Structure 1
């Protein structure tokens, strides 16, 4: 039997790995064949231990925690609390139960299943559990030790873990996995043995891969909840995510994923997630380790380009760099040398936009303008591609035919016979040849505001329509008004108009394969609201939030007001937590100050009441918010107003007459 004394693991003065931040250090070592990763956080004198045990000929794997403990379910943040009977010293938090996994040689997860202890005992002197590990599997577990010696002067760890505001228990969308987290414990569906993984079985190989874009999502959620609740744990989770991303970075500054092939290819949008995460952390608290990692990641992204005749075009993934790579590409595609591009460059729009935005963010946070010329070249290439609009006579009717397949089911069933026949022609003949038609008449920007994702990929990729709205709004925010922002704003207008007119959002809502597109659509509308302040855009955003709720999807984390790309630390405001979980709060803080949209997702009116612990919205009898009723499926806007010369504030209804959707 392999035996592991957990107290000794927490106390082992192992050598630090190269991954360290101010006040946070990662240590890695092996003890009797058990791989251990420990993150130490000096500010809270707390630690997180990741344990990975192999199957052994010696028999079961036994974990022991010396001391007397009570085992309690954490109804607040999830997981289990091992509470010392002495009520002094450290408490231990297990976010998830141990789990069995299979890994390939590159650390990708190919299988996992729950495991029950072969025996379990809790006494006055120790808690212990033994596990049988099948051949070919490993056992993973994460355990926190949270020092409670100073808890008398602040909210204690027990209270942090056992209680949760409504905001903490609401689901938040995770960008790359298209899944949600609904508690702090859910972070450990992603944080696995010191690395950030996606929480879905990635197509086409059905395995879980490391994913920096999911890490960015979680970083934003932790940041927003830290501001809104003041809980220390969210700050520790945020720092742990940074350590986990730094631990994954290769010497050349890049990150590899192997989502699609056995070539361990890199996907640049995921790497851009690492740049955005590190930039947000560096903006909050600059330090050399972050600056160095950012510089190396930016240099890697800057190398992922194809120099076309009209400027630099950023590639989607490393397979596009060669004919050999594209032989492993899992999707249909057509070669093209349009505008002097490489035949293997698929001209994928969303990744091109995202890479430019990552390099712009790098420059904004570090002041390093070494990639500014490359980004300017990329903007020129984007303008040239979007300016190409051949064969309007052909694309206008073809797109109208395709749109018939984007209608919700009820609308499709009501189509007259002639349009049903056209719809059949569309999905059976036009859509499968869509990329071949565009190879003959190259263009991305279509009639009526629609934009295709790429030039050369097969199929009609409507699922990226919300992503395009989000990314163009991101780009607009970085472009001076005299440098083409008006043209980009017109493109954003077209994207928004197409989304409404085509009813594609209702199609997404009822499609299991496409409903995650609603989250990106909502984020794009959120960014439009911040730019325009338009009542129409707010109405669309509120509708999108209702659609997300109806579809059972989480809230895009940017809507918490915690996206550092939008709100730098000095301009960020905490999102208040409503009392009723059926209310969703969108943080629309902008340069004019804090502002919040509150949406009632219920089928009945609800009173607008915020948590009684909120500093921003004092929920006492004098607060005018106490009298506000939000009708069913409706929304209202509110802003904090200073109630008296002290720092205490109360809510005031900027739009007390709620707008019904």
Structure 2
């Protein structure tokens, strides 16, 4: 049996320092079959300890010991707390019980299961738990030590943070890559494994859990927003821990490897862009050299992930696209092509090209780095050319009308007249499987009626990315790289919304498990559009999207909490208040000087509009309104006309009429 003393590992100088930031550092060590990661946050009087224990011939179990007299309590934010009986001593938080995992050679998770508890002892001046060690697996555990935040105070505040949770803290939030949801602070540790951030799903096609910077970005946003709204130390710690995790995973060339699809350990640029956006938000809030260096290295790496076409630079989706050899491992059906002089292996995937442009533009904005300006101009020129291509409208318009019959809600499909049902059958059986061949003959991504295809080289009709396209084009309009009033770009966003509404594809997403995650990206696209247009129709569509997310059992996209640094700088963000009733969803459409909240009622009965704590306490100058939100409806809370000019948060409100659905 191995014996591990937790207090000893919290205080020992195990291993060496792997990353140093202001007020935060990560240490890595290994000893006698135990790998150790410890994150120390000196300015927060807290540390997190990750232990990874391997079974050996002489140790088939491990005993974890915590000295001192403690009470064991279940936490409102998830996990378990060991609260000391002696005032002033540290509180220990175990967000997740130990897990046994099978790993491959590059750290991907092949299997996992709860560790088997063999014995538990509380008393006699210690707490101890013994777990069995499974053959060919490692046992992972994580423990936080939270000291009193100020000298001379007891640990009651730390305990209170763990033992209380508002409706906002207990709400589900969507993870961008794994399409899962976190519902409490402890859920972060379905992602944070031995100091690295993983996707919380078994990724297709190899059914592995991989390290994932896009999920890290989602968690970082949630922690930032909840920290801003609650003032709790635990969310600041989670945010900083995610930053350490991302920094420590970066390769020497600036990139990140994932191995989602192949054993070649390929990289995916959209995930890498998640790291760029996360670190850019952190750097913009508190600049320091380690962050700037990491950002510049990512930018240099992305600048190499390009195919130089006759129309300009096009960013690749993943490292497999860089060569014929890489594409031999590609897990999807694809077509070679030479349109616009592109490489045959460049699949011309739109959303990743947009996302890479936005990542480089963000690095330029926060670091003042104009190294890649020429590349960005070339990428925009290529995007304009691709989106301007509209051959064979006479052909695509009727064909898309046939395909659209398969996008209707299932009940409507069943009620179609015989002739239209026959057309729908022709569409899904013959047209959709040959859709990529038609587009190879007449290359275009932007289709009639506002629909946009994801790629030129991938087979199939990929309507699941419609919401992603709306989100990314709204991001493009907001980033300053293009004119936000240029009709060439605004008309694309308008068309995406019109197609989403007129085709009723969102209802199909809602009732189809494989497409349900599309609702989250659609909602985020509408949220960003609301920030730009402030139009009543867009707000109505956003409220409907929030209801659809609730009905589908999905979490809110984290951006809707108003703490996405790409949208609003941290110093300008307004905290999102917590509704008193968990059935109300509060969408933050404002900033510190221009507060605006969209409150959506997911219940089938009217609910009072109330917040905990009241807005007068949480947001000076605001006040709760003595008003209810209608069943399946929404209400907009924003400054009144007398408070329209920038200044302190308003003390009066103008309410738009409540909209039931």
Partner of 1:632: 631
Give SS of 1:505's match: helix
Work out whether 1:255 is the aligned partner of 2:256: yes
- 2:28 corresponds to which residue? 28
CA distance 1:588–1:362, change in 2 (3 Å)? same
CA 1:420–1:651: 2 relative to 1, 3 Å: farther
Contact 1:584 1:599 in 2 (8 A): yes
Summarize the Cα distance change of 1:155–1:174 in structure 2 as closer, same or farther, 3 Å threshold: farther
Aligned to 1:106, what secondary structure does the other structure show? Answer: coil
CA distance in 1, matches of 2:397, 2:329: 34
Any residues of structure 2 matched to 1:114-153 within 5 Å, and which? 114-148=114-148, 150=150, 152=153
1:326 aligns with 2:327: yes
The residue number in structure 1 matching 2:216 is: 215
Distance across 2 between alignment mates of 1:149 and 1:383: 54
1:610-625 superposed matches below 5 A: 610-612=611-613, 614=615, 625=624
Cα separation, partners in 2 of 1:616 and 1:542, compared to 1, 3 Å: farther
Instruction: State the SS of the aligned residue for 2:134.
Output: coil
Say if 1:155 and 1:347 are closer, same or farther in 2 by CA, change over 3 A: farther
Q: Which runs of 5+ in 2 are unaligned?
A: none
In the other structure, the counterpart of 2:358 is 357
Could you say what secondary structure the match of 1:351 adopts? helix
Matches within 5 A, 1:543-554: 543-554=544-555
Matches within 5 A, 1:220-235: 220-235=221-236
For 2:142, what is the secondary structure of its paired residue?
A: strand
Structure 2 Cα separation of the partners of residues 88 and 258 of structure 1? 46
Q: 5 Å matches for 1:165-314?
A: 165-314=166-315
Q: CA deviation at 1:84?
A: 1.1
Q: Whole-Å Cα distance in 1 between the matches of residues 299 and 648 of structure 2? A: 43
Structure 1 526/497 Cα, relative in aligned 2: closer, same or farther at 3 Å? Answer: same
After superposition, the CA RMSD in angstroms is 1.9
Paired with 1:252 and 1:545, the residues of 2 have a C-alpha distance of 40
Q: Which moved more, 1:345-354 or 1:594-603?
A: 594-603
Q: Which moved more, 1:246-255 or 1:471-480?
A: 471-480
2:158 equivalent in structure 1: 157
**Greater alpha carbon shift after TM alignment, 253-262 vs 145-154:** 145-154
Q: Secondary structure of the equivalent of 1:166?
A: coil
Q: Please state how far the C-alpha of 1:250 moved relative to its aligned partner.
A: 0.2
Cα deviations by residue, 1:45-69 (Å, 9 ceiling, x for unpaired)? 2100001001121231111111111
CA contact (8 A) 1:618 1:650 kept: no
Change in 2 beyond 3 A, CA 1:81/1:232: same
Structure 2 counterpart SS, 1:271: helix
- Correspondence for 2:87: 87
Match of 2:6 in 1: 6
3-state DSSP of counterpart to 1:47: strand
The residue that corresponds to 2:393 in the other structure is 392
Deviations along 1:589-638, one digit per CA (max 9) or x if unpaired, are: 1596111110111100000001126556579xx98634211110111111
Distance in 1 of aligned mates of 2:154 and 2:625: 31
SS of residue in 2 equivalent to 1:654 = strand
Query: How far apart in 2 are the matches of 1:478 and 1:15?
Result: 42
Instruction: Provide the secondary structure at the position in 2 that maps to 1:627.
Output: coil
SS of the aligned residue for 1:168 comes to coil
**How far apart in 1 are the matches of 2:124 and 2:342?**
71
Aligned to 2:434: 433
2:445 counterpart SS class: coil
Matches within 5 A, 1:533-572: 533-572=534-573
SS class of match (1:573): coil
Residues 535 and 616 of structure 1: CA distance in aligned 2, closer, same or farther (over 3 Å): farther
How far, CA to CA, are the matches of 1:651 and 1:454 in structure 2? Answer: 49
Residues 233 and 149 from structure 1, CA distance in 2 versus in 1: closer, same or farther, beyond 3 angstroms? Answer: closer
Q: Say if 2:407 is the partner of 1:410.
A: no
Counterpart CA distance in 1 for 2:649 and 2:264 is 56
In 1, the alpha carbon distance for the partners of 2:298 and 2:481 equals 26
Deviation of the 1:317 alpha carbon: 0.1
Residues 268 and 7 (structure 1), Cα distance of their counterparts in 2 relative to 1, 3 Å cut = same
Alignment of 1:574-593 (within 5 A): 574-589=575-590, 593=594
**Secondary structure of residue in 1 paired with 2:515:** coil
CA distance in 1, matches of 2:592, 2:223: 23
Aligned to 1:118, the other structure's residue is in SS state strand
SS in structure 1 at match of 2:654: coil
Q: Which residue of 2 aligns with 1:112?
A: 112
What SS does the aligned partner of 2:177 have? coil
Give 3-state SS (helix, strand or coil) of 1:295's partner. helix
**Deviation, structure 1 residue 481:** 6.7
For residues 332-382 of structure 1, the C-alpha deviation after alignment (integer angstroms, 9 at most, x for no partner) is 000001000000000000000000000000001010011111011000000
1:87 deviation in Å?
3.0
- Rounded to whole Å, the distance in 2 between the matches of 1:212 and 1:99 is 22
More displaced 10-residue stretch of structure 1: 478-487 or 16-25 = 478-487
Report the Cα offset of residue 86 of structure 1: 1.3
Tell me the residue number matched to 1:53.
Answer: 53
Q: TM-score, normalised by structure 1?
A: 0.96
Distance 1:560 1:282 in 2: 20
Post-superposition offset of 1:31 = 2.4
Which string of whole-angstrom CA distances, capped at 9 and with x for unpartnered residues, describes residues 144-163 of structure 1?
00002628499711000000
> Take 1:495 and 1:340, find their aligned partners in 2: how far apart are those partners?
28
Q: Deviations over 1:442-467 (max 9, x none)?
A: 00000000000000101100000000
Cα–Cα, structure 1 residues 615 and 100, in superposed 2: closer, same or farther, change >3 Å? Answer: farther
- Please give the secondary structure, in 1, of the residue aligned with 2:145: strand
Check 1:86–1:283 CA distance in 2 against 1; reply closer, same or farther (3 A cut).
same
Contact 2:615 2:623 in 1 (8 A): no
User: Counterparts of 1:419 and 1:526 in 2: how far apart (Å)?
Assistant: 35
Q: How many residues align?
A: 655
Unaligned 5+ segments in structure 1 are: none
Cα distance in structure 2, aligned partners of 1:444 and 1:43:
51
- Structure 2 length-normalised TM: 0.96
Distance 1:596 1:629, change over 3 A: same
Moved more, 358-367 or 118-127: 118-127
